[in-house]
A and B are shown apart, each in its own frame.
Chain A
Amino acid sequence: MTIAGFIVRNALRNKRRFLLSVSSVAMSLFLLVTLQVALRELTNPINDEGSTLRIIVRNKVSLAQPLPARQLPTIERIPGVAAITPFSYYGGLYKGDEKFTSFAQFAVDPARALDLLSDARVPPEQMQAWIADRTSAIVGKMTADRYGLKVGDRMPFTGQIYPCDLEFKIAGIYQGTADDRNVMFHQKYLDEALGDPGTVGTWWVKASSVEEAPLVTERINKAFANTSAEVRAETERAFQLGFVSMWANIKILIGGISMVVVFALLLVTVSTMSMAIRERFRELAVLKALGFRRRELFAFILAESFGLATLGAFFGAGGAWLLYRTLDMPKLTGGMFVVFEVTPQMLALAFTIAAVLGLLSAVAPMIGVARTSVVQGLKTLD
């Protein structure tokens, strides 16, 4: 027999309680990790390689205000601008979706758009077909898979923002971006449907280098200062974070729930360990009598409590990691969650919480053991 074997035997002496305790830690940490993953998914914009170069130009008054289409040549001439396309959010309701369509539709200039979507992979013949037909669109692979769409199918939308319904013929299916959900179609097609208003939703600009990006942003803002349509140019990251800031209350709510989960977990573990040690006060007194020192008994208690919490973290956080790797979350959540990834930081957080729980829950039993003499301990039994 080894000391480690002795500790394991003690931990497993009440198997039902041990299983329930490990399960409660595991379930709580599973929930905690899931909340963290969901929070990250909701508040952390998806970034790809090209996002560091892309700049969004919108109306300074509001994102809802369009920009004049005539701004295009002015922006094109600004030093450091490598590519530009109109980028108008259509926001239609796809046929069959009742209240909400989980993928976005953007009107762009196809010939220019792929310069900005450097990560997207579209077969050349599909790209040509898209450019050639102004009623066509390319669809992200995730959306195509979800709805079982293929090249040549038609996608009808009901306008929710613009007063026009549109129907696209699928010219191609793209993949390779961080978010392969969107539908891209011709700005010209939207213009025609709206009676050619001469406006775009936003401009999507690509800077020639990462170093140039902030300078380009500044130059665009200056170029339209004191005009009838002043703009606000910002990096794609800053633009996305603007949306994220609207989730502030959700972050607080999820943070609050996480705290409650951890606190409940602490109570459960402390209670379990206290119960387990209280039952063994006599045995601990016997061990003391046999020559085990206080620090060795502390080590037994700590190892047991730490082991219980860590095992719970292994099953809870590890289970979440395995589960979300295995499940097709975009499909399961109807495209609401795309990445849903348990990051190493989240695993580290879960294991750190477990370690701290293990330590804290050992404190009370250790104090009890320290305060109890051998004689008192033996009397508790008799």
Chain B
Amino acid sequence: MSLPNIVTIRELSKEYRQGEINVVALNNISLDIAQGEFLTLMGPSGSGKSTLLHIIAGIDRPTKGVCRVQDIDVTKLNESRLADWRNQNVGFVFQTFNLIPVLTAFENVELPLLLTRLSGKRRREQVNTALELVGLAERSRHLPRQLSGGQEQRVAIARALVTDPKLIVADEPTGNLDSGSAQEVLSILQLLSRQIGKTVIMVTHDPKAAAFGSRSIHLEKGELTN
């Protein structure tokens, strides 16, 4: 029996103006993503894959269409509710890691938990669990500049995991890493999907990275091609 859908997208379009030109970033996309799936979004630059990822993650809004995540149409939420929703339901992994340079690895991972009502002790437990999961428990007191690129990205994955979201979105997470580190990061994302049941949506250019996913879809000029 197949797992229920966590993401349901129907007739989703996104247009924006660039000077005098009207750019169509997404054109009438319909897509279902099942719970626990590791979906990779591929396509050339400007194909709309990052825009689609941003809309699913609730950091961008479509021009029209529906994007339901866990039965909530994220396109209908106001800014404040959308922020709460992101904190509870989405974990972000960016290409450039985007850790806060003045905070240690532990504090970077703890950051999303500052918005919750968890006690200090409970927060520490969750942070330690997340850091252990990515194999960086011993580096928790290090600042980002004291970590390698691969370690920084693993801290970013721990930060994405720490609130225990159902959905993890990763925008070219291996784009700035050497092949060894990329392998490690992809393995962790695969593990999160296969063993912990997280739904992972990853944008990538790299077919080798895409091979870690359970399904791959291609976008071109804002449309799905397969």
User: Which one of B79, B92, B96 lies within 8 Å of A293 (CB-CB)?
Assistant: B79
* A282 touches which of B79, B98, B107, B111 (Cβ 8 Å): B98
Q: How far is the CA of A282 from the CA of B83 in the complex (A)?
A: 17
Assess the B100–A283 pair: CB atoms within 8 A. yes
Whether B94 pairs with A378 at a CB distance below 8 angstroms is yes
In the complex, whether B86 has a CB less than 8 A from a CB of chain A is yes
- A6–B103 touching, CB < 8 Å: yes
- Max count, chain B CB within 10 A of own CB: residue among A2, A283, A290, A294: A290
Query: Do A375 and B112 touch across chains, with their CB atoms under 8 A apart?
Result: no
**In the bound complex, how far is the Cα of B94 from the Cα of A342, in angstroms?**
54
**Contact between B98 and A292 (Cβ–Cβ < 8 Å)?**
no
Let me know if B95 is at the binding interface, CB within 8 A.
yes
The 8 A CB mask of A279-322 against B (1 = contact, 0 = none) is: 00011001111111110100000000000000000000000000
Interface residues on A, range: 20 to 34
A373, B60: Cβ atoms closer than 8 Å: yes
Kindly state the separation between the CA atoms of A13 and B54 in the bound complex, as whole angstroms.
Answer: 30
A246 at the interface (CB under 8 A from B): no
A223 at the interface (CB under 8 A from B): no
The B interface, classified by DSSP as helix, strand, loop or mixed, is helix
CB proximity of B116 to chain A, nearest CB, Å: 9
**A298→B94 CA distance, assembly (Å):** 24
- Residues of chain B contacted by A289 (CB below 8 angstroms): 57, 59, 86, 92
Is the CB of A10 closer than 8 A to any CB of chain B? yes
Q: B83 touching A1 by the CB < 8 A rule?
A: no
The answer to whether the Cβ of B102 comes within 8 Å of any Cβ in the partner chain is yes
By a CB distance below 8 angstroms, the chain A residues around B86 are: 289-291
- Return A367 CB to nearest CB of chain B, in Å: 16
Whether the pair B114, A1 counts as a contact (CB closer than 8 A) is yes
B-side interface size class: 20 to 34
Residue of B nearest to A2 (CB): B114
Residues of B within 8 A of A378 (CB): 94, 98
> What is the CA–CA distance of A365 and B112 in the complex, to the nearest angstrom?
23
Q: Is B135 an interface residue (CB 8 A)?
A: no
Of the candidates A13, A291, A293, the one whose C-beta lies within 8 Å of that of B102 is A13
**Measured CA separation A55–B84 after assembly (Å):** 73
- Collect the chain B residues with CB atoms within 8 Å of residue A293's CB: 79-80, 83-84
In residues 321-378 of chain A, which contact B (Cβ within 8 Å)? 373-375, 378
Q: Which of B59, B95, B114, B159 contacts A375 (CB 8 A)?
A: B59
Residues from 82 to 130 in B contacting A, C-beta threshold 8 Å: 83-84, 86-88, 92, 94-96, 98, 100-103, 107, 110-112, 114-115
Which residues of B pack against A, CB within 8 Å? Answer: 54, 57, 59-60, 79-80, 83-84, 86-88, 92, 94-96, 98, 100-103, 107, 110-112, 114-115, 159
Nearest 8 A/B pairs, CB to CB: A291-B87, A374-B59, A9-B102, A293-B83, A286-B98, A13-B102, A1-B107, A290-B112
Known: A1-B114, A289-B59, A291-B87; 12 extra A-B contacts, CB below 8 A, are: A3-B114, A6-B107, A286-B100, A287-B111, A289-B57, A289-B92, A290-B92, A290-B112, A291-B115, A293-B79, A381-B96, A382-B96
Using a CB–CB cutoff of 8 Å, the interface residues on chain A facing chain B are 1-3, 6, 9-10, 12-13, 282-283, 286-294, 296, 373-375, 378, 381-382
In the complex, 13 of the A-B residue pairs with CB atoms within 8 angstroms, ordered by the A residue number, are: A6-B114, A13-B102, A283-B100, A286-B92, A288-B83, A290-B92, A291-B84, A292-B83, A294-B83, A296-B115, A373-B60, A374-B60, A375-B59
